[in-house]
Amino acid sequence: MIDLPTPSRERLTDLFLALARLPSPSRSERAVADAVITRLRAAGVAVHEDDTGDVIGGDTGNLWCTVRGDGSNPHLALGAHLDTVSPTDALEPILDSEGVFRNTRRTILGADDKAALTALLHATELLRASESPFPTYELFFTVSEETGLVGAKHLGDHVLKSPLAAVLDSSGPVGGITVKAPSQQGLRAAFRGRAAHAGVEPERGRSAIQAASRAIAAMNLGRIDEETSANIGVIHGGVASNIIPELCEVQGECRSHDEEKLAHVAAAMVDALQEGAALTGVDVDVTLVHEYRAFALNARSAVVRLSKAAVVALGLEPRLLTGGGGSDANILNARGLPTVNLDAGMMQVHSPDEYLTLDDLERLCGLVLRMIALAPGFAPRVASTISRAHD
């Protein structure tokens, strides 16, 4: 087995806290991107950036780089996203006395996905400073992942040269490997009624909010079956309590691991929207967008076997998971690049209760090092480890 460098808990702490202090909501990732670029350049790695920021109205493009080791062709691509959901308060992360990273303010911590950024950066620092051999590999960092995997969709088809990939973007203790994730349809509807004074002449009005309410009430929402769900997440309209609302906009989604079920649920939601409009005499414009496709990786596929072997080498039990959400892995798998989504140790993400333990951050960095060291084609000495890893 290759001698691997040992992650520094002090360095991981300093690096995570520095990244977590930098706000990086979708389309405003510049500060974090610059921090990533600076640290990779300090490790002697040249970083490329595309024009996705200009295309989507953001301030940052996707980043990618090749970390040169043994061999000219990269063996593995590892990725994370630069953005977070929008914080509602200041970012003041700390490592508490129990070894847990938390934000002292009532908003997100940002471990989604800065835990992954930290682990990838520190692992690269360690390998570049080490005298032990390691294979050439790629890193990629996407923007606006939280708003529909936008950055990954704009990443050039031929940017990544590796035969296998992993993103570090799933919530849960290190050791989980998401091998199956659903498709998603995004839905937007704009109800257009007629404004009128609500007290003086309500008969003249046509309420867009009433139409939207009827439509939503008629929908089957929440958990539909074990592989299908639907949700209306945003509704807004109206200007004053004494004016019958002329406009109401609704945003929602449905997800499924089965494309036929997804099409059926999406059609039912559209039917409900149109019926709600018809019953109240208003117009409705509906937009349905297929955001990303489902993927399902065989347990014996190379990237799954590699991931399991790396988890075993770390001393943990691999857990093959079926995810309920999308990630950049959906986009890459749809392009033909087999990609798993690894649990990154972050917990209760997208909430003020989000946290990450230093132990899991250390394990995540150790997992990255083992994923690289065990990459197929680099280390025939450990090929048997991959084949034995919980086939």
Find the catalytic residue in 145, 253, 328, 354: 145
The residue ranges of every structural domain in the chain are 9-181+294-388, 183-292
| Residues 161, 48, 25, 107, CA torsion sign | positive
Over pLDDT 90: what percentage of the chain?
94
CA 152 to chain centre: 10
Question: Does residue 83 contact residue 25 with C-beta atoms inside 8 Å?
Answer: yes
Give pLDDT, residue 379.
54
Strand partners, 135: 70
Interval 172-201: pLDDT, tens: 999 999 999 999 999 999 999 999 999 999
Cα–Cα distance for residue pair 350/59, rounded to 1 Å: 22
Active site residue 83: yes
Cα–Cα distance for residue pair 180/329, rounded to 1 Å: 10
Burial (Cβ within 10 Å: 0-12, 13-18, ≥19) of residue 128: middle
Residue 255 parent element (H or E):
strand 247-256
What value does the mean pLDDT take over residues 224-240? Answer: 96
Cα–Cα distance for residue pair 190/285, rounded to 1 Å: 5
| Single-letter residue type at 65 | C
What single string gives the DSSP state of each residue in 320-363?
A: EEE-SS--HHHHHHHTT--EEEEE-S-BSTTSTT-BEEHHHHHH
pTM of the model: 0.91
Interval 140-181: pLDDT, tens: 999 999 999 999 999 999 999 999 999 999 999 999 999 999
Interval 55-72: pLDDT, tens: 999 999 999 999 999 988
Residue range 9-181+294-388, CATH number: 3.40.630.10
Active site residue 285: no
Give pLDDT, residue 186.
96
Residue 93 parent element (H or E):
strand 93-95
Find the catalytic residue in 29, 50, 83, 360: 83
Give pLDDT, residue 378.
72
Cα–Cα distance for residue pair 248/381, rounded to 1 Å: 63
322 contacts: CB under 8 Å, gap ≥ 6: 178, 179, 180, 181, 257
Interval 253-298: pLDDT, tens: 999 999 999 999 999 999 999 999 999 999 999 999 999 999 999 9
Residue range 183-292, CATH number: 3.30.70.360
Cα–Cα distance for residue pair 67/120, rounded to 1 Å: 11
Interval 82-95: pLDDT, tens: 999 999 899 999 99
